[in-house]
């Protein structure tokens, strides 16, 4: 008999007893999730659930002891992600990528709510690391959880991993010439990409597992898909590591998927439009469309893909055709929306400044004077209202 057999048997028994103990401490929702998760992920998930319940019980106890509603609000916020994945697990078995997203999101919330109550306001960005492209980022230190990725807080939903913000951060690192931290962030983001198949074509997608306006869960954004395709291509160009090129190809392939199958391009009177929210095909967001184009153009620059160049040129034509509608006469509109693609609302100051910078980039890339005209016109509106064009405001895209 192998001398290691008794040791292995003892470890197996200890593991089974531990899982049985953890199972008893779980809620019905958590047990359902565990039963639908891949076997290889169940021990980590069970341990995460255990910590999660300890944190939530402490929040509820503090609420009962003090009657301070902030503890109860935090108790509710911290439980959101389990509810989401419980609902999903009733429909289908959970993929490896989904369990990774679930576990990471819970670990972030566990670390945060051990020391803090929920912030006030939506779209607040936090990091569980001292590494950030911005000195003003909210940072939370924890011995149990660290991550280079940004997390975003939404009221009622707790802290969430958001690929849009993650790719925004990576692009900022690259703009600063900090490829080391930018690539490190992309490395940490990579395991959360799901590889799907449609009509014999493999493609990659970063899905979002919280609700935004009237979205179903999960959903995805052309913003992070396009940005990531370009960023991983640039990571390959900088490192020459083929894994980044493979991932960029998969992400670019997502733009070949029909909208009806979860794709990101809708037909409009102006031409094809990239959807920042693919569950809102009648909401044509200007900055999201152009930033998606930037990623596709960066992908083209590295790969020389004619498909990418054609897609970029089609997107540029759509912007050109939409600009008269996007112009209010004294400011820019944030989006065109509805069946008739009417102006939605005026952009806030940050997005107005961003529109100017994006149109300048389109002019420098295409040479089309239409983009220069509107960039100068909108910059004039901004200066008239502000005195001078301010430096970019740090906010979530």
**DSSP state, residue 327:** B
Residues 168-177, mean pLDDT to the nearest whole number? 97
In a domain, 307, yes or no: yes
- Segment 200-253, tens digit of pLDDT: 999 999 999 999 988 999 999 999 999 999 999 999 999 999 999 999 999 999
**Average confidence (pLDDT) over 54-71:** 97
**Least confident stretch, 99-108, 311-320, 376-385:** 376-385
* 330 falls within a domain: yes
Structural domain contains residue 280: yes
pLDDT averaged over every residue in the chain: 92
User: Which range marks the domain in which residue 310 is found?
Assistant: 193-397
pLDDT digits (tens, 9 = 90+) for 283-323: 999 999 999 999 999 999 999 999 999 999 999 999 999 99
Instruction: Specify the 3-state DSSP secondary structure of 5.
Output: helix
153 falls within a domain: no
Give a yes or no: residue 30 inside a domain.
no
**Contact at 8 Å (CB) between 287 and 226?**
no
Please count the structural domains in the chain: 1
Cβ atoms of residues 208 and 278 within 8 Å = no
Q: What is the 3-state secondary structure (H, E, C) of 180-205?
A: HHHHHHHHHHHHHCEEEEECCEEEEE
Here the CATH number for the domain that contains residue 317 is 1.50.10.20
Question: Is residue 123 included in any domain, yes or no?
Answer: no
């Amino acid at each position: 008999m192998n001398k290691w057999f008794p040791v292995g048997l003892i470890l197996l028994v200890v593991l089974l007893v531990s899982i049985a103990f953890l199972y008893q401490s779980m809620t019905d929702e958590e047990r359902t999730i565990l039963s639908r998760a891949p076997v290889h992920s169940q021990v980590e998930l069970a341990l995460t659930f255990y910590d999660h319940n300890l944190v939530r019980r402490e929040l509820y106890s503090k609420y009962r002891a003090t009657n301070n509603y902030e503890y109860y609000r935090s108790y509710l916020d911290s439980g959101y992600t389990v509810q989401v994945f419980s609902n999903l697990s009733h429909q289908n078995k959970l993929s490896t990528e989904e369990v990774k997203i679930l576990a990471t999101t819970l670990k972030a919330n566990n670390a945060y709510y051990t020391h803090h109550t929920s912030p006030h306001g939506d779209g607040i960005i936090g990091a569980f690391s001292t590494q950030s492209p911005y000195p003003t980022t909210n940072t939370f230190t924890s011995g149990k959880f660290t991550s280079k990725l940004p997390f975003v807080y939404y009221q009622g939903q707790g802290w969430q991993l958001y690929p849009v913000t993650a790719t925004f951060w990576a692009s900022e690192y690259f703009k600063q010439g900090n490829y080391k931290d930018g690539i490190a962030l992309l490395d940490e983001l990579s395991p959360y990409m799901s590889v799907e198949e449609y009509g014999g074509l493999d493609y990659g997608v970063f899905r979002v597992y919280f609700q935004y306006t009237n979205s179903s869960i999960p959903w995805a954004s052309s913003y992070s898909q396009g940005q990531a395709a370009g960023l991983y291509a640039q990571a390959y160009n900088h490192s020459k590591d083929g894994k980044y090129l493979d991932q960029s190809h998969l992400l670019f392939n997502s733009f070949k998927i029909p909208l009806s199958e979860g794709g990101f391009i809708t037909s409009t009177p102006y031409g094809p439009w990239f959807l920042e929210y693919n569950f809102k095909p009648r909401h044509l967001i200007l900055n999201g469309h152009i930033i998606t184009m930037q990623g596709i153009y960066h992908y083209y620059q590295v790969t020389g893909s004619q498909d990418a160049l054609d897609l970029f040129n089609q997107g540029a034509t759509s912007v050109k055709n939409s600009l008269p509608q996007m112009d209010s006469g004294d400011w820019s509109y944030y989006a065109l929306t509805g069946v008739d693609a009417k102006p939605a609302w005026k952009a806030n100051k940050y997005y107005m400044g961003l529109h100017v910078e994006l149109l300048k980039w389109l002019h420098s890339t295409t040479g089309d004077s239409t983009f220069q005209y509107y960039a100068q016109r909108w910059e004039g509106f901004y200066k008239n209202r502000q005195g001078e064009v301010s430096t970019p405001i740090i906010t979530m895209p």
